[in-house]
Amino acid sequence: MNFRRLLVGWAALAAIAWASAATAAEPVRLSFWYPVDVGGGLAKVIDGLVADFNQAHPDIQVAPVYSGSYDVTLQKIQAAKLGGALPDIAVTEISSVPVLGALGAAQPFDDLIAGAGGKNFLEKFWPSMLLNCRYDGKVYGVPFQRSTPVMYYNKDAFAEAGLDPEKPPLTWEELANAAQKLTQREGDRVTRWGLELPLEAFNWFYYALVYANAGEVLSPDGSKVLWDQPKDIEALQFWYDLVNKYKSTPAYTPWSDGPQEFVAGKAAMIWHSTGSQAFMRQHVKFRWGLGRLPKNAQFGPPSGGGNLMLYATDPARRNAAWTFIAWLSDAPQAARWSIASGYLATNIASWDLPEMQTLVKQRPEVLVTKAQLADAKVEPASPKYAPARDILNALIKDVLANKVPLQSGTQQAVASANEAMAKQ
Amino acid sequence: MQDRGGALGRLIRWRASSRLAPYLYVLPALAALALWNYYPLVFLVDLSFHRLDATSPTPTWVGLENYRELFTAPLFGRVLRNTAIYTGLTVPLSIGLGLALALALNRRFPGARLFRTLFYTPVVLPTVAAATVGLWIFNSNYGLANYLLGLIGRPPIGWLTDSDHALWTIVGIGVWKTFGYFMLVYLAALQALPQSVLEAARLDGARPWDRFWSITWPLLRPTTWFAAVIALILSFQAFDFVNIMTQGGPSNATNLLVFYIYQHGFQYFRLGFAAAIAVVMFGLVYAITALVSLWFNR
Amino acid sequence: MIRILGRAVIYAAVLALAALVAMPMYWLLVSAFKASDEIFTATPRWLPATLEWSNFARAWEGAAFGRYFFNSVVVALAILLLQLTTASLAAFALARRRFRGRGIILLAVIGALIIPIQVTFLANFVTLERFGWIDSYWALIAPFTASAFGTFLLRQAFLAVPEPLEDAARLDRCTGLAFLWHFLLPLSRPTVLAFTLVALVAHWNDYFWPLIVTNRDEIRTLPIGLAMFVTQEVTTDWNLLMAATLFVAAPMLIMFFFTQRYFIRSHMHAGLKR
């Protein structure tokens, strides 16, 4: 071993690194970031879709990039905005629309829509899905992988408890009754919960309950939260009662435990994403069904999932990106994506396509999801909502666990949230 | 010694003998540290005097506003308290446990190597993996932890979901992840101790406990100083655990400074404010390290 | 008699602790072999019903692990080489040479030890962007060119080499860098190995930094592949995640098992004062 050999080794390493870096500097393409949960299947579907697009459009080559979870994708985009390496198109969670719009990372594209038929283009999508696509009066997103919460229920358990397996509860009263009947105990320990409402960072089921009660969560200008309004308080009170009065629901179920608990028979009814259907289908061994989220005043499941958003600013890339967006959200692709992923087909026409008709015949429960699509409500979003979301999450956890009284706790949370949002 | 041939060799030898040499030797490391470690600190301090967030995407000077907001934020006190508990517990516990094991395993017996590897394994495991395994073991319904509790007749605990317990759980994981490293550090130090002094004490009839406190422990002081500084640095790993397992919750029970920065910088995208928090955190860490070093080197 | 009892108690305590530490590892190992529906059973299953080797295949296919493996190796080795070089040079000067400003430079090196990534990542991201290095191997390697920890460890190790040795070497016309190469480094082999292990593990397991600075699969590293199994909307494929974790952690574990002797030896000098 002498210096010369060391230098040669160094040179070799440098050469390898340089060569790799050089091959990395490939010609300009459209980059498409997507946060789909992978685990084998779905990444391949995206790859397949993109490959088909690339083949049909030789002048535009799209490179799909898995960008992490919704949160991580948002962070990467924000960081990229600072550093300047934004993707051209990305699928981002719907509540990020105002955030990215205000930041100037995402670009509005009303002009491109006008060129594609204006209102006629927009009318291809379920109106409820378009609620989370705008910011500041402009269109920033096209619905792509959307979901609503839905109720999974154990038909066998229903039959056992003397309930009609074909008639899932449709009102809060029916829900509470069913939940109580379905809860099983062994002495003090609960062996099966009647109903589980998992809680995750987005507070989906709080919104579900408030909307079902015809309440509102966020003021129209996005600056104040409305959790202390009577209808919102009633909604949280109902959840509280399910846990502490009817004792049919645990105080806290982590989001990802939900499907597992249902499959294991530890929960007879559970609210979860339409996206979990595939999991249920694969693992459930008893008769099960899908039901709409019960109403108190109206049917109003909150919206969820991601939109296609445009980030490119260069006119040529922008037009190319738009071509991709328009293609991907078109009926055949929407149908294909929906069938593979369990996300809802946001394009109305896709439901009439033969492949979707076949799906409906094979799985009639899918019609429940279609009904929810029609009724879906907006997911609360504003550029400054993020800290309020966390405050609400803490409030729900504390109220359900009896650590904080409902009324005064909510007042305090509202005050903190409004203050936090004002600071942004 | 073979004479180094070639022009390169001569150049190198000339360099080596010049007065400039030492400066040239430290230059690469120093330049890299300056660019990638110190400059960011300056950048950060500068950023902390600005406002940079979703609604004001270009930095605007706001002076001490971020600091004012930070020190009057009700959550900040909570976060400081959580961090103090976390660091105040994990540092002594992981070092202490490491020392205890080093003392216990500092002899040749069958399986010693296996034990040492076993105790070191958590250190080598990626924190992401440790966090996800932890998520699962401490799951209130399915987790191993509650199952074991059930076996001894105790009711299940919300390890990560109960705001009274979550912080202790994270502390436990933090200690589990790092004590193996200190065990090795102390094993090395113990093996380097002058055996003659210890032998003399043993022959004098001193009891093991006394031998430890009056001889071993003082001799280990430099090692303990080193371990304390490293433990402080390792306590930042808590971020990975909090980010994956609790997201600062439940109800901010596990919101540590490292997470608080991330929350405001990345989730709320208020970079100027997050920078202020980071500067305060760095100031605290630096002060503690200086204090600890002073105490150990007095 | 008391001695033996005392020793037995200690041994029992160590065993109990070993069980506690081993349990999550065992769980990890066993779950990697379980079928999907064995994961969430009412009572934990200590042994899988059958050994599902297919989990490993499925996990491997779940993300581009072959590519990630290659990248992790390239990046970790490159960083290691760079750090060893800059650290040995700097440690050599700091330990074996007197020069003005030595104390301050040493403090500067130690000071950098405690600057965490939360402080540095944003500026480094912006710096890399200015160089145009985002989404390339450089982004993964450049910020780690120097290691304060390595410089410190090597300095301590070099300090322990006696002065007379250098004098003798000088008589043989082995000075400066030659002395470093032929004497200091070989004599500090345990430290070099220990530092190698620590640095490799740290960068092998790094998730956060590669995630921010890379987008393309072609240059991503193993931990990112792991994270792909933790899903948001539905639920996690725990058995696949555990299987993937195993093949990410295995190389480091194996390496440690065979080099722990050096590791211990190297830290003998860690606490020495000047």
Higher per-residue confidence, A41 vs C126: C126
Q: Which of A36-40, A142-146, A211-215 has the lowest mean pLDDT?
A: A36-40
The Cα C33–Cα B245 span in angstroms is 24
Looking only at the bridges linking them, the beta strands covering A138-139 and A134-135 are antiparallel
Residue A77: closest C-alpha in chain B = B266
Tell me the residues of chain A between 250 and 269 that have a Cβ less than 8 Å away from chain C.
255-261, 263-264, 266
CA A232, chain centre distance (Å): 22
**Residues B30, B104 within the same domain:** no
From chain C, which residues contact A within 8 Å (Cβ)? 36-37, 39-42, 58, 61-63, 74, 77-78, 81, 122, 125-126, 128-129, 134-138, 141, 181, 211-212, 215-219, 227-237, 240
- Per-residue pLDDT band for B15 (boundaries 50, 70, 90) equals low
Q: What is the mean predicted confidence (pLDDT) over A47-52?
A: 91
Could you give the percent of chain A with pLDDT greater than 70? 91
Q: Are residues C202 and C242 in the same domain?
A: yes
CA A258 to the chain's CA centroid: 16
DSSP class of B4: P
pLDDT tens for B142-178 read 788 888 888 888 888 889 888 889 999 999 999 999 9
> How many distinct structural domains can be found in chain B?
2
The answer to whether the CB atoms of C61 and A63 lie below 8 A apart is no
Name the pLDDT band for A249 (thresholds 50, 70, 90).
very high
Facing residue for A397 by CB, picked from B9, B251, B269 = B251
Query: Is the model more confident about C240 or about A218?
Result: A218
Q: Which chains touch C (3 or more CB pairs under 8 A)?
A: A, B
- Do C7 and C110 lie in one domain? The reply is no
Q: Give residue-wise pLDDT tens across range C151-167.
A: 998 998 888 888 888 88
Residues B211, B203 contacting (CB under 8 angstroms): no
Tell me, yes or no, whether C180 and C208 share the same domain. Answer: yes
* More confident position, B249 or B239: B239
CB-based contact B93:A422 (threshold 8 Å): no
Do both C70 and C196 map to the same domain?
yes
Q: Which of B26, B123, B128 sits opposite C207 (nearest CB)?
A: B128
Q: Is position B70 within any domain?
A: no
Residue A294's pLDDT is what? Answer: 93
What is each CA distance from C70 to A274, B245, C164, C228, C248, in whole angstroms?
Answer: 38, 29, 45, 18, 12
Q: Which residues in chain A touch residue B141, judged by CB atoms under 8 angstroms apart? A: 257, 261, 266
Sign of the four-CA dihedral B168, B174, B177, B183: negative
Q: Is the CB of C89 less than 8 angstroms away from the CB of B29?
A: yes
Residue B64 lies in a domain: no
The reply to whether B29 and B168 lie within a common domain is no
Please, what is the Cα angle at B203 between B201 and B208, to 5 degrees? 55
Q: Please, which residues have CB within 8 angstroms of residue B124's CB and are 6 or more apart in sequence? A: C201, C249, C252, C253, C256
**Residue range of the domain that includes B16:** 6-48
Residue C274's pLDDT band, with cuts at 50, 70 and 90, is: very low
Report the distance separating Cα A345 and Cα C167, nearest Å: 80
First to last CA, chain A: 60
Residues in C touching B185 (Cβ below 8 Å): 267, 270
pLDDT above 90: percentage of residues in chain B = 34
Q: What is the CA radius of gyration of chain C?
A: 23
Query: Is B225 part of a structural domain of the chain?
Result: yes
Pair C169, C34 in one domain: no
Q: Using DSSP, state whether B245 is helix, strand or coil.
A: helix
A338-354: pLDDT as tens digits:
888 778 888 899 899 99
What is the span of the domain harbouring residue C37? 2-56
Average of per-residue pLDDT values in chain B: 85
Instruction: Please determine, for residue B117, whether its predicted confidence score (pLDDT) is greater than 70.
Output: yes
Interface test with A, best of B154, B268, B270, B277 (most A CBs within 10 A): B268
CA distances in angstroms from B282 to A306, B271, B275, B288, listed in the order given: 37, 16, 10, 10
Is the residue at C274 inside a domain? no
Q: Report CB contact under 8 Å: C245, B132.
A: yes
* Domain range A27-146+304-375, CATH architecture: 3-Layer(aba) Sandwich (3.40)
Task: Return the amino acid letter for C40.
Answer: F
Domain co-membership, C112 together with C72: yes
Query: What pLDDT, on a 0 to 100 scale, did the predictor assign at position A27?
Result: 43
Which residues does chain A have within 8 Å of residue C78's beta carbon, measured at their own beta carbons?
A: 13, 17
Q: Is residue B120 domain-shared with residue B82, that is, in the same domain?
A: yes
The domain tally of chain C equals 2
The Cα–Cα gap between B176 and A210 comes to: 43
Across the strands, what pairs with A151? A271, A291
The residue of A78, A107, A260 whose CB has the most chain B CBs within 10 angstroms, and thus the best one to mutate to test that interface, is A78
Whether B275 is in a domain gets the answer yes
| CATH 3.40.190.10 domain locations along chain A | 27-146+304-375, 149-302+384-423
- Contact criterion met (CB < 8 Å) for B251 and A398: yes
Residues A109-125 have pLDDT tens digits of 999 999 888 888 889 99
Q: What is the pLDDT of residue A258?
A: 86
Could you tell me if B289 lies within 8 Å of chain A, comparing CB atoms? no
Q: Does residue B250 have a cis bond before it (omega within 30 degrees)?
A: yes
CB B16 within 8 A of CB C95: no
Residues C77 and C123 in one domain: yes
Chain A contact probe: residue of C41, C67, C89, C233 with most A CBs at under 10 A: C233
pLDDT confidence of C236, banded at 50, 70, 90?
low
**A165-191 pLDDT, tens per residue?**
999 999 999 999 999 999 998 887 788
The helix, strand and coil proportions of chain C, stated in percent and rounded to the nearest 5, come to: 75, 0, 25
Phi, psi of A65 (to 5 degrees): -135, 125
Q: What is the pTM of this model?
A: 0.84
Give the side-chain half-sphere CA count within 13 A for A146.
Answer: 38
Regarding whether B154 and B33 lie in a shared domain, the answer is no
Q: Which residue has the higher pLDDT, C59 or A351?
A: A351
What amino acid occupies position B191?
Answer: Q
Using alpha carbons, select from A414, A147, A198, A145 the residue that is nearest to residue A302: A147
How far is B72 from chain C, CA to nearest CA, in Å? 22
Interatomic CA distance for residues B151 and B146, integer angstroms: 9
Confidence band of B19 (pLDDT split at 50, 70, 90): confident
Residue of chain A nearest C132, judged by CA positions: A85
Residue A40 has pLDDT above 50, yes or no: no
Residue written as tokens 């490179």? A63
Per the domain annotation, does C187 fall within a domain?
Answer: yes
Cα–Cα nearest to C198, from C66, C84, C70, C68: C84
Answer whether residue C123 is part of any domain.
yes
C197 and C215 fall within a common domain: yes
Kindly state whether residue B62 falls inside one of the protein's structural domains: no
Nearest CB to B187 within list C121, C226, C264: C264
Largest CA distance in chain C: 75
pLDDT greater than 60 at residue C57: yes
Residues in B touching C251 (Cβ below 8 Å): none
- Predicted-complex ipTM score: 0.84
Instruction: Give the closest residue to C15 by CA, choosing from B169, B114, B89.
Output: B114
Quick one: closest CA in C to A87, which residue?
A: C215
Residues B36 and B145 in one domain: no
User: A413 to chain B: nearest residue by CA?
Assistant: B251
Residues C46 and C131 in one domain: no
pLDDT (average), residues A242-260: 89
**B256 shares a domain with B184:** yes
CA distance A406 to A234: 10
Same domain, B85 and B227: yes
Q: What is the CATH number of the domain that holds C112?
A: 1.10.3720.10
CB of B249 within 8 Å of a chain A CB? The answer is yes
A412 vs A408: CA distance, rounded Å:
6
pLDDT greater than 80 at residue C193? yes
Chain B residues in contact with A252 by the CB 8 A cut-off are 140, 158, 161, 250
C259: tokens are 């080099």
When pLDDT is cut at 50, 70 and 90, the band that residue C272 belongs to is very low
Q: Which one of C68, C235, C237, C239 would you mutate to disrupt binding with A, by most A Cβ within 10 Å of its Cβ?
A: C235
Query: Which residues lie closer than 8 Å to A414 by C-beta, 6 or more apart?
Result: A225, A226, A227, A228
- Contact list, C17 vs chain B (CB under 8 Å): 97, 101, 119
Contact A65 C128 (CB under 8 A): no
Task: Name beta bridge partners: C260.
Answer: none
Name which of A23-27, A150-154, A266-270, B168-172 the model is least confident about.
Answer: A23-27
Three-state secondary structure of chain A: CCHHHHHHHHHHHHHHHHHHHHHHCCCCCEEEEECCCCCCHHHHHHHHHHHHHHHHCCCCCEEEEECCCHHHHHHHHHHHHHHCCCCCEEEEEHHHHHHHHHHCCCCCCHHHHHHCCCHHHHCCECHHHHHHHEECCEECEEEEEEECEEEEEEHHHHHHCCCCCCCCCCEHHHHHHHHHHHCEEECCEEEEEEEECCECCCCHHHHHHHHHCCCCCECCCCCCECCCCHHHHHHHHHHHHHHHCCCCCCCCCECCHHHHHHHCCCEEEEEEEHHHHHHHHHHCCCCEEEECCCECCCCCCECEEEEEEECCCCHHHHHHHHHHHHHHCCHHHHHHHHHHHCCECCEHHHHHCHHHHHHHHHCCCHHHHHHHHHHCECCCCCCCCHHHHHHHHHHHHHHHCCCCCHHHHHHHHHHHHHHHHHHC
Q: Is B136 helix (H, G, I), strand (E, B) or coil?
A: helix
Rounded to a whole number, what is the distance in Å from the CA of B104 to chain A's nearest CA? 41
- Burial of residue A331 (number of CB atoms within 10 Å: 0-12, 13-18, 19+): middle
To the nearest whole angstrom, how far is the Cα of A118 from the nearest Cα of chain C? Answer: 32
Give me the residue label for tokens 């003392």. B103
The H or E element that residue B50 is part of is strand B50-53
Domain identity same for B115 and B235:
yes
Pick left, alpha or beta for residue A68 (phi over 0 → left; psi -120 to 50 → alpha; otherwise beta): left
Nearest CA in chain B to A390: B251
- For residues C40 and C147, state if they share a domain: no
pLDDT digits (tens, 9 = 90+) for A302-348: 988 889 999 998 888 898 899 999 999 999 999 998 888 778 888 89
Residue C122 to residue B285, Cβ atoms within 8 A: no
Residue of A nearest to B2 (CA): A2
Does B264 lie in the same domain as B146? yes
Three-point CA angle A24, A35, A344, nearest 5°: 140
Whether B231 and B95 have beta carbons less than 8 Å apart is answered as yes
> C-chain residues within 8 Å CB-CB of A69?
230, 232
Q: Which residues contact A146 (CB under 8 A, 6 or more apart)?
A: A94, A129, A303, A304, A305, A306, A307, A343, A344, A346, A373
CATH architecture of A149-302+384-423: 3-Layer(aba) Sandwich (3.40)
